[in-house]
C-alpha cells in the first residue's frame, strides 16, 4: 500500500510537533529539577500542555486546507 504525498506530509508535521512537545517537557524537567518539579516547574509544564493543544489545533487547521 503506497502512502500518498499529502498523507506523508501530515504524518511528518504531526511527528515533528509531538517531538517538539517531548523536547519541551524534557527541557522543563531538566531546568526545574531541584529534587522535584516544584510549583514553578508545574506551572511551566501546564503551560506547555496548553501550548501543545493550541499548536495541534493550529496544525489541524493548517493541514485541512
DSSP annotation of 3 reads P
Q: Is residue 19 part of a domain?
A: yes
Q: What is the pLDDT of residues 1-60, one digit of tens each?
A: 788 888 898 899 999 999 999 999 999 999 988 888 888 999 999 999 999 999 999 989
What range does the domain containing 11 cover?
A: 5-60
Q: How far apart are CA 2 and CA 30, in angstroms?
A: 41
Give the integer Cα–Cα distance in Å for 13 and 17: 6
Return the number of other C-beta atoms located less than 10 Å from residue 28's C-beta. 19
User: In this structure, is residue 11 part of a structural domain?
Assistant: yes
Query: Considering the domain boundaries, does residue 21 fall inside one?
Result: yes
User: In the prediction, which pLDDT does 54 show?
Assistant: 95
Backbone φ, ψ for residue 32 (5° rounding): -105, 30
Residue 50 domain-assigned?
Answer: yes
Does a structural domain hold residue 36? Answer: yes
pLDDT of residue 46: 95
65: in domain: no
For residue 56, which of 4, 9, 20 has the smallest C-alpha distance? 20
Task: Give the number of domains in the chain.
Answer: 1
Amino acid at each position: 500500500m503506497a502512502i500518498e504525498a499529502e498523507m506523508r506530509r501530515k504524518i511528518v508535521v504531526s511527528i515533528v510537533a509531538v517531538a517538539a512537545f517531548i523536547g519541551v517537557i524534557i527541557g522543563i524537567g531538566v531546568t526545574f529539577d531541584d529534587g522535584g518539579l516544584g510549583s514553578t516547574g508545574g506551572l511551566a509544564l501546564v503551560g506547555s500542555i496548553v501550548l501543545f493543544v493550541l499548536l495541534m489545533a493550529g496544525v489541524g487547521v493548517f493541514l485541512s486546507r
